[in-house]
Amino acid sequence: MIDKHSPLPLYFQLEEQIKKTIESKELVPGDALPSERELSENYQISRMTVRQAITNLVNKGYLFREKGKGTFVSSQKFEQSLQGLTSFTEDMLARNLKPGSKLLHFEIYPADEDIKESLNLQDDELIYKIKRLRLANEEPIAIETSYLPVKLVPGVTPDILEKSLYKYIENNLHLSIGHATQTVEAAIVNEEDSKHLKVNKGVPILLIQRETYLENGTPLEIVKSSYRADRYKFKIGIERK
């Protein structure tokens, strides 16, 4: 419980207690947290200390507040490694989640200047513009907009895009995907994407941009993805040389 003689601050001890009830599944996502008054009575600590612990857990994503309703347990975030060049489908299957895709836009058109340059294309070459909502167990978690040269990746259909694009590229076209560069930055969701992702307008998202190349160095795709920041966190292993 809470040890008033411990050198650890009381709010921190309460945070750890609440985290334990979440980790042990005593409280599950969507459950309401006991009120500030109840927590302060149960643990014999001030309401200010309780408030501090709750605010910290809200900021860390364990809890969320709803105006006039109370504080609730958040869904745990997906942890995604930034190492390894994987597809969305592979990422979900590795977590025993059912991958899904909803095609929002599919178009073939002559590449504009900046895409042409990034994909190293000649004049008038056609590209696909593909926008997909990506789902995990039917829950929307990311929106992906990809650009790929039609000549290099012929025969892409909406049907393929409802499944795995990488699988089609590797298993049907027998192309070897080699490496990619990827950036991750914070952004604000736009209005259209907020509807698809089922988040409030103006919430933060993680904007990920990837440029992928085949093993022989040919540029394959440019992808801009908006991941729900309340559902996703990225992890990277680092070494001190």
Interacting residue ranges for ligand GLP, rule: CB under 6 A: 87-89, 144, 146, 164-167, 210, 212, 221, 223, 225
**Angular region, 167: left φ>0, alpha ψ -120 to 50, beta rest:** alpha
Least distance to ligand GLP, CB of residue 121, Å: 18
Distance CA 61, CA 144 (A): 24
* Shorter beta-carbon distance to ligand GLP: residue 38 or 162: 162
Distance CA 54, CA 15 (A): 7
Least distance to ligand GLP, CB of residue 167, Å: 6
* Shorter beta-carbon distance to ligand GLP: residue 51 or 224: 224
Distance CA 97, CA 89 (A): 9
Distance CA 117, CA 95 (A): 36
Q: Starting from the edge strand earliest in sequence, which strands make up the sheet with 99-110, in order?
A: 99-110, 126-136, 139-149, 219-228, 204-214, 177-188
> Are the CB atoms for 88 and 47 separated by under 8 Å?
no
Least distance to ligand GLP, CB of residue 208, Å: 6
* Shorter beta-carbon distance to ligand GLP: residue 60 or 167: 167
Tell whether the torsion through CA atoms of 151, 153, 158 and 159 is positive or negative: positive
* Shorter beta-carbon distance to ligand GLP: residue 2 or 184: 184
Least distance to ligand GLP, CB of residue 134, Å: 7
Beta strand pairing call for 63-66 and 70-73: antiparallel
> Are the CB atoms for 169 and 175 separated by under 8 Å?
yes
Least distance to ligand GLP, CB of residue 68, Å: 38
* Shorter beta-carbon distance to ligand GLP: residue 59 or 181: 181
* Shorter beta-carbon distance to ligand GLP: residue 210 or 233: 210
Least distance to ligand GLP, CB of residue 150, Å: 15
